[in-house]
Amino acid sequence: MLRRRAAGALMLAAIAGLTAACSPATGPSATTQADAPPSPPPIVIEHARVFDGERDLGEVTLVIRDGLIARVAQPGADDLPAEAERIDYRGRFIVPGLVNAHAHVGNTEGTAHGDRFYTRAHVVRDLRQFQAYGVTTVMSLGMNGAAFGDIRNAVSSDPSLGAQLLGAGGGIGAPGGAPPAANMGLTHDPVARPATAAAARDAVRAQAESGVDIVKLWVDTLGGQAPPMAPEVYRATIDEAHRQKLLAAAHIHDLAPATDLVASGLDIVAHGVRDRPVDPAFVAALRTSNAGYIATLQIDEANYIYAEHPEWLETPFLRNALPEAVRAQWSDPQWRADTLRDPQTTKARAALATNLRNLSTLREAGARIGFGTDAGALPRRVPGFAEHRELELMMQAGFSPQQALTVATRDSAHLLRLDDRGLLQPGRRADFIVVAADPLADIRNLRTIEAVWQAGRKVAGPVAEYRAP
Ligand SMILES: [Zn+2]
């Protein structure tokens, strides 16, 4: 995926260079080095304690040049670039920006959701909120409207427009099945729904042609309520994705299809198994194929937790992430009572418990774990907050703060083959979060965000000043 995009960018740069060089309007001597914008001075960040995505480096100095980490120097190094802008983050903690490998954008407005909201303005609104909360890369995993490619191309190289966006386009679902068009508000359904293996290959080729970064599929009968995707259809989808040099990620809920998908070459299990405990066959399939597993613990909890009014509902860190209409809904006693009485709430509590137990089992078994939340798919899956809640829930599955942060940075980037980020090491993107309290001591300290840097620029912060539009 990176190879395709990097090659395309190089080609565009080459074409732009040729056009400029050959254009008569610019005159024979117009295109010189002097016309190129001057490279901004390097930036030296001093005195912060840095967790680089895998190790606590203690207090080090970061040298940033051209949007990348150029060097990690020991404190007091006397050979730092003299022309650098120097920033003192004494007493602060720096960790890599979070990489959300399962999110959605442009799908909500107030308490409503659906593909009618998929506009550039709504996508940018979500990307900015993710970024303000420290999420600097977002993989929008399906249900992206027809404008996805244009919006992605327009926003993904400008860090001032929010987290860097990657995505799956519409994705591949089952005819009349998941994702449920009516429940998800898909009036102009962007999801391809092939009925045969040949149609699945055509759909994947069309999405690859349109420039998607990944192929998403849904394999879920929604508790027996929806027709399944036939195995020959999902096998063809995965195989064709690989022929197109793309990863395949699947929405699942139940163990049986998840096991067969992994055995069929799936790269990313994009939700946790929630119908039963994972068994040795699934663990073995994951370990043999090295597929990644993203639990999205937060999604089932989000179905009921806000109706319970936990004391943290009133914290500014959450409240500031909510549109006014959502705050009003969550304060409504009738909505709260109806939500808690809903039989789905009982199922959601059980699903979270199963998801936590399975994630714990897979962690102990050494399975490859990625980070995602499904934030942005529905109004209760709150961009930015969802990621911090997911990290906190990971503590209940036995992760240490350091392990959870490694999953959400280094491992999630690697799972998406984004080997230019996820670690604060020389040559990688300077995407990082500056926080006031030690997140390795308590993962909730990651909420004390003072600044967010993306591609070597300070783009957001402090989070306490952020207000959802
Ligand atoms: Zn999703």
pLDDT in tens, 63-95: 999 999 999 999 989 999 999 999 999 999 999
d(CA 415, CA 418): 7
Place 26 in a pLDDT band, splitting at 50, 70 and 90. Answer: very low
Beta bridge partners of 64: 43, 69
In angstroms, what is the span from residue 216 Cα to ligand 1's centroid?
9
Considering the chain, what percentage of its residues have pLDDT values greater than 70?
92
Place 7 in a pLDDT band, splitting at 50, 70 and 90. Answer: very low
d(CA 246, CA 238): 9
Whether residue 264 contacts residue 234, with contact meaning beta carbons closer than 8 Å, is answered with yes
- Exposed, middle or buried by CB within 10 Å (0-12, 13-18, 19+), for 438? middle
Q: How many residues does the chain have?
A: 469
In angstroms, what is the span from residue 377 Cα to ligand 1's centroid?
6
- Exposed, middle or buried by CB within 10 Å (0-12, 13-18, 19+), for 39? exposed
Place 1 in a pLDDT band, splitting at 50, 70 and 90. Answer: very low
In angstroms, what is the span from residue 26 Cα to ligand 1's centroid?
48
* Cβ atoms within 10 Å of 375's Cβ, excluding its own: 32
In angstroms, what is the span from residue 142 Cα to ligand 1's centroid?
7
Say what the pLDDT of residue 82 is: 94
Which chain residues have CB less than 5 Å from ligand 1, an ion? 141, 374, 377
Quote the distance between the C-alpha of residue 252 and its chain's center.
17
Cis ω on the peptide bond leading into residue 379 (within 30° of 0)? no
Beta bridge partners of 69: 64
SS3 175: coil
In angstroms, what is the span from residue 372 Cα to ligand 1's centroid?
9
Report pLDDT digits (tens) over 258-317: 999 999 999 999 999 999 999 999 999 999 999 999 999 999 999 999 999 999 999 999
In angstroms, what is the span from residue 104 Cα to ligand 1's centroid?
6
In angstroms, what is the span from residue 73 Cα to ligand 1's centroid?
40
* Cβ atoms within 10 Å of 276's Cβ, excluding its own: 12
- Exposed, middle or buried by CB within 10 Å (0-12, 13-18, 19+), for 83? exposed
In angstroms, what is the span from residue 103 Cα to ligand 1's centroid?
6
